Amino acid sequence: MHEMAMAQGVMEIVEDYAHRSNAKKVCTISLLIGEMAGVVFESLEFCFSALAKGTIAEDAEIKLKKVPLVGHCNNCGWQGHIENYNFFCPECGSAKVDIISGRELRVEYLEVD
Amino acid sequence: MEVPVMENILSSNDKKAAENKKIFAKNKIFALNLIGSPGAGKTSLLEKTIDVLSDQVKMAVIEGDLFTNKDADRIAKYNVPVIQINTSGGCHLDAMMVAKVLPQLDLSELDLVIIENVGNLVCPAEFNIGEDTKAVVLSITEGDDKPLKYPLIFKEAAVAVLNKVDILKFTNFDMVSARHDINCLNPGVTILETSCQTGRGINEWCSWIKERINSKKNGCNNNG
Ligand SMILES: [Zn+2]
């Protein structure tokens, strides 16, 4: 259940930014979660709602954006979705494929009052 | 009102991990984060590693465990410093836990710190603790489907140890398929087949570690 540690991370960020913008209430928390991040979203949401009780984010809605796993080939320039976690380039077979997106664990924005 | 954030959820852990990494770098210690399921044989592999390496390099062990001291007690029988971290149910070690115990070690005297993470293939993959390298241990009794089921750790690890190969013939583990999946996930990754019963692959594993220790001593980057 590392989702609890992640929920704590979200909570710290939310409180920090809400405080800085003098918010009275956090309405929405938008999260970017990569396809390859090891997160079970339902657990994260459950942990967060437990943590948020009695805080400024108690009634906040969590919006999840799943970010697809996209790679870029440094050999031929191919860019696209990585299928079946096969990191060899589908165009040229090179092993020099970097992850462009899909590892995100980020708070994107807050909607506050 | 919309407040843009774009902050990493694990940023406080990552900051602490970077501090730990600096401490290891300053002392030229190679720090290895050993990850695997419960029962994969991490502690047995560690015992074999100590058998081979403790005469040749100055090493210490940090043992992460949910509630017990059992693994640390096993290691304490060897003549290397061992520190126990109890996560009290937490599924992984985090950088803060490691930072807290580092002062208990005489870091200036060490070449190698092996950190045995909590038995789990999911959570420890996500939390850096300041290590140079992650090693994943998969026992063949767990099945050859695990790399694609837990891709993150197989992507992150610089070495994948396939343990308990002495009982390969009694299982339906497909070695070719497992090696193929691990290599697709992490092209060029070192894959070692080991058995703590027969000793197979242990010397290769220890040489792999020694190479990393040496390149760290010589100031090379050994993330790979
Ligand atoms: Zn290519």
DSSP for residue A60:
P
Asked whether the beta carbons of B118 and B85 are under 8 A apart, the reply is: no
CA dist B145 and B181 (Å) reads: 9
Task: Enumerate residues 6+ apart whose C-beta is below 8 A from B51.
Answer: B78
Q: Is the pLDDT of residue A16 over 70?
A: yes
Quick one: pLDDT at residue B67? Answer: 81
Nearest CA in chain B to A110: B3
Nearest CA in chain B to A7: B9
Do the Cβ atoms of B3 and A108 come within 8 Å? no
Chain B contact set for A23 (CB, 8 A): 1, 3
Give the mean model confidence (pLDDT) for residues B183-193.
97
Give the mean model confidence (pLDDT) for residues B125-145.
97
CA dist B186 and B216 (Å) reads: 22
Do the Cβ atoms of B151 and A87 come within 8 Å? no
Chain B contact set for A84 (CB, 8 A): 148, 184
pLDDT bin (cut points 50, 70, 90) of residue A93 is very high
Q: In this complex, is the C-beta atom of B7 within 8 Å of any C-beta atom belonging to chain A?
A: yes
Burial class (CB in 10 A: 0-12, 13-18, 19+), B128: buried
Q: Is the pLDDT of residue B223 over 80?
A: no
CA dist B100 and B156 (Å) reads: 24
Quick one: pLDDT at residue B222? Answer: 47
Using one digit for the tens of pLDDT, what is the confidence trace for B4-17? 999 999 999 999 99
pTM: 0.94
Do the Cβ atoms of A107 and B125 come within 8 Å? no
Give the mean model confidence (pLDDT) for residues B29-50.
97
Do the Cβ atoms of A111 and B1 come within 8 Å? yes
Using one digit for the tens of pLDDT, what is the confidence trace for A51-85? 999 999 999 999 999 999 999 999 999 999 999 99
Q: Is the pLDDT of residue B221 over 90?
A: no
Measured between alpha carbons, how far is residue B218 from residues B19, B25, B186, B213 in Å?
Answer: 21, 11, 26, 9
Using one digit for the tens of pLDDT, what is the confidence trace for B103-122? 999 999 999 999 999 999 99
Beta pairing, strands B2-8 & B59-65: unpaired
Using one digit for the tens of pLDDT, what is the confidence trace for B91-102? 899 999 999 999
CA dist B154 and B134 (Å) reads: 9
Chain B contact set for A88 (CB, 8 A): 184, 187
ipTM value: 0.91
Q: In this complex, is the C-beta atom of A36 within 8 Å of any C-beta atom belonging to chain B?
A: yes
Name residue B192's amino acid. L
Q: Is the pLDDT of residue B50 over 90?
A: yes
Q: In this complex, is the C-beta atom of B88 within 8 Å of any C-beta atom belonging to chain A?
A: no
SS (H, E, C) B67-134: CCCHHHHHHHCCCCCEEEEECCCCCCCCHHHHHHHHHHCCHHHCCEEEEECCCCCCHHHHCCCCCCEE
Name residue A13's amino acid. I
Residue B20 Cα to ligand 1 midpoint, Å, equals 36
The tally of CA atoms less than 13 A away on the side-chain side of residue B58 is 11
Quick one: pLDDT at residue B220? Answer: 60
